[in-house]
A and B are shown apart, each in its own frame.
Chain A
Amino acid sequence: MLRKALHQTGSLAGILLAVSLITFLLMNLAPGDPALAILGETATVESIAALRGQLGLDLPMLQRYLNWLGDVLTGDLGQSFRANEPVLGAILDRFPVTLELLIGAQVVALGLALPVGIYTAYRARGPADRLSLSVALALISTPPFLIGIVLIYFFALKLGVLPATGYVPLSESLAGNLRTMTLPILTLGLFEFPLYMRLLRSDMIQTLQQNFISLARAIGLPPWRILIGHALRPSSFSLITVVGINMGRLIGGAVIVEVLFGLPGIGQLLVDGIYQREYLVVQGVVLFVGVFFVLINFVVDFLYGVLDPRVRVDAVRR
């Protein structure tokens, strides 16, 4: 167990280093002079030279990377040029919004996928199964912003029951926060739901064909006890992995949903940074999101071992 933990931590450090390198290279290999891009039309030869010096652009690439990495490790992602605030501060200010969106979406997606997945596996090929598979296919074929626009059209514009844009912080009012977050969370949750539902359904169908389920049936256990008490756990391993891996897909979806609904999360920060050519903000958000995603995957890997004893045994044998 300890050896595995050490090995995993080692590769985690390697991956994080690679993530930082890619983030750095993306910005520095891009065509054009970042100093010129930041200063825009007001640039003069002197101001460009001064900013290049300030950003360290005249140093060799490797030296710049190491300097930057040193800053990053001490929590310094630079200052945004226009707002003149620390980039890390701006990210941390906005991260709770994104986190609420992500967690809410996972809860909605799983809350729908578990009952639907279990029931359709139990009644596979029945009418409910066919209907839910068709709905899932339609949702998979709809880009996330389109799900959001359809929800806005009906709930905000036609029925007028929920706001289409705006954000009320959780600290201000719980009810107001929930009202503004319902449609974004529902959008992202519906985007994620079909993947989970189809995965759980097919794993569950396989589990239900196994001997221990026949035995449970033979001794007369009621169906719901067989499904939830016996079949769910062995059917949910791949679902748990995918819930973790899909955080990446979900973060991408969150960027779109935040822009669509005007939520002040890090996705909005990223896109605003791109529009305003705030290179350090963009770089900071990309790095932050990359690191966050790697850490989530690391934790999921670990949880997987806790849930499925077979993984632990394998690791020890190796």
Chain B
Amino acid sequence: MTLSVAERERIKVVGPRRRWGDLLVALPAAWLGVAVLAAVFAPLLPIPDPFRQALLRTLQPPSAVHLLGTDALGRDVFARSVLGLRVSLVVGIGSVVFGLGIGGTLGLVAGYFRGRTDLWISAVMTVILSFPPLVLAIAIMSYAGPSLALVIVALGILFVPAFARIARANTLSLAEREFVLAARAMGMRDLGILMQEVLPNLVAPLIAYSMLMVAVAIIGEAALSFLGLSVPPPQPTLGGMIAAERANLLEAPWAVFGPALFLFLTILSLNVAGDQVQRRLDQREAAL
């Protein structure tokens, strides 16, 4: 079989770029998959006990037993990073689900009913937005005391306005479309229209945005735990590990850069994958 020059050229151009694009989805997806599995099955993994202190083996460099070395109390950095990643993922996903649920609902209602409802909801969002986000989360955590549920709520509140804005904007334009008019003409009630006609069309834009927001939430949790305002010890958190071990940065960089690597790879994967998902959705949207 022979190919014309033009066809060969096209394959040359399309081939590598396509593969590169697929790789940009596959690699982050693989890391996220491994991270989620490791977080879920952490107690079953063949790794050292993350809580066992060994004061004779402190700040050991990475080895076959301790993949990322040991920290200032002789605890295994790798095992602790896996547990820390668990907190990052739970908080990251939990707070975005919180923001998505509340913000999405408020935006849907505001965009559909408009008028006074819209005005009130927008006013509440303006107030939330009038605090620097991390400072608001720090304030909530400082008054109410550290706990997992509270970290999720404190960070989740920060996402409410953004999700509300997206849901509202999409609902505003969807509510003008013919299929909503048709549903109304057929006597469908507002609740039915919202749930069956509008909501399914909101899923795609909100999901793509959610992935990017999970990355932001994990950065937020890392910042809170770095300040000691996230889940309390003995539960390890990536930010907390970095804060505790940074005094030994020169002697034992692995104790800091180990958890840092977990943090970085997870956030990077979410950002790359989220970007790709959004790009593909945009293309599909444009094709419609």
Contacts and interface: CB of A to CB of B under 8 A. Distances in A.
Interface of A: 15, 18-19, 22-23, 26-27, 30-32, 137-138, 140-146, 149, 152-153, 157, 247-249, 251-253, 255-256, 259-260, 270-271, 273-275, 279, 282, 286, 289-290, 293-294, 297
A15 to B, nearest CB: 5
4 closest pairs, A vs B, by CB? A252-B134, A30-B143, A248-B132, A141-B268
Contacts of B138: 252, 255, 270-271, 274
A24 to B, nearest CB: 11
Given A252-B133, A270-B138, A149 B268 contact: no
Nearest to A137: B271
Contact of A15 (B126, B134, B264, B271): B126
A153 B253 contact: yes
A19 B126 CA distance: 10
A92 B194 CA distance: 50
State which size class the interface on B falls in. 35 or more
A157 B250 contact: yes
B249 A152 contact: yes
A252 B268 contact: no
Given A145-B223, A248-B132, A19 B267 contact: no
A137 B134 contact: no
A149 B133 contact: no
A120 to B, nearest CB: 17
Contacts of B256: 149
Q: Which one of B142, B242, B253, B260 has the greatest number of beta carbons of chain A within 10 Å?
A: B142
Given A141-B215, A149-B246, A249 B132 contact: yes
B162 interface: no
Contacts of B246: 149, 152, 260
Contacts, number: 124
A248 B243 CA distance: 23
B263 interface: yes
A143 B239 contact: yes
A199 to B, nearest CB: 15
B264 A142 contact: yes
Q: Which one of B138, B143, B228, B271 has the greatest number of beta carbons of chain A within 10 Å?
A: B143
A197 B226 CA distance: 27
Given A157-B249, A252-B132, A143 B223 contact: yes
B61 to A, nearest CB: 16
Nearest to A270: B138
Contacts of B242: 145-146, 149
A31 B143 CA distance: 8
A28 B197 CA distance: 43
B113 interface: no
Nearest to A158: B250
A192 to B, nearest CB: 13
Contacts of B140: 26
B127 interface: yes
Contacts of B223: 143-145, 252, 256
B134 to A, nearest CB: 3
B242 to A, nearest CB: 7
Given A15-B126, A270-B138, A143 B263 contact: yes
A274 B142 contact: yes
Interface string B245-260: 0100110010010001
Nearest to B246: A149
Interface in B123-143: 126-127, 130-136, 138-140, 142-143
Contacts of A145: 222-223, 226, 239, 242-243
A19 B250 contact: no
